[in-house]
Amino acid sequence: MEEEVSEKPLHVQVAEAFGCTPVLNGETWECGDYGHSYSSYVNEDGEEYNDYIIPRYDTDWAVTGPLIEKYVDDFCFNLGAMGWCDHYQVSAFGGRLGRDIGWHQVRGETPLLAVCVLILTLKAKGKL
């Protein structure tokens, strides 16, 4: 069975994994954990801007750092021979959560991308 690839940006997929939902034709996002809505608009130059931005889990250490502290039990950088197979690897087994969630290990090109993939993996397996 082939895995379905989402066309949504990674940070949006992570926000959805945490319960954020689009409302009003997808222009506004309600995120119960945050206590307010996020809205995005397009200005006259065609540039998107937001009055409340969905957190950029894929690029912002400030919003992803707490996820690392909560979910990640092991974090490493694997440097392959002559620069091949360089990747960041994160693992979770529930030690930080205080409950057994099984063993989950994923990779990403950056530390934050690896954490985003881990969050989506945990959500897909009902372990988030």
The domains of the chain are located at 7-55, 59-128
Residue 3 corresponds to which amino acid?
A: E
Q: Tens of pLDDT along 63-85?
A: 899 999 999 999 998 776 655 66
Number of neighbours of residue 57 by Cβ within 10 angstroms:
23
What is the mean predicted confidence (pLDDT) over 14-29?
76
CB 18 within 8 A of CB 32: no
Per-residue pLDDT at 19: 84
Q: What gap in Å lies between CA 119 and CA 121, rounded to an integer?
A: 5
Per-residue pLDDT at 77: 85
Q: Tens of pLDDT along 82-119?
A: 556 678 999 999 988 888 999 999 999 999 999 999 99
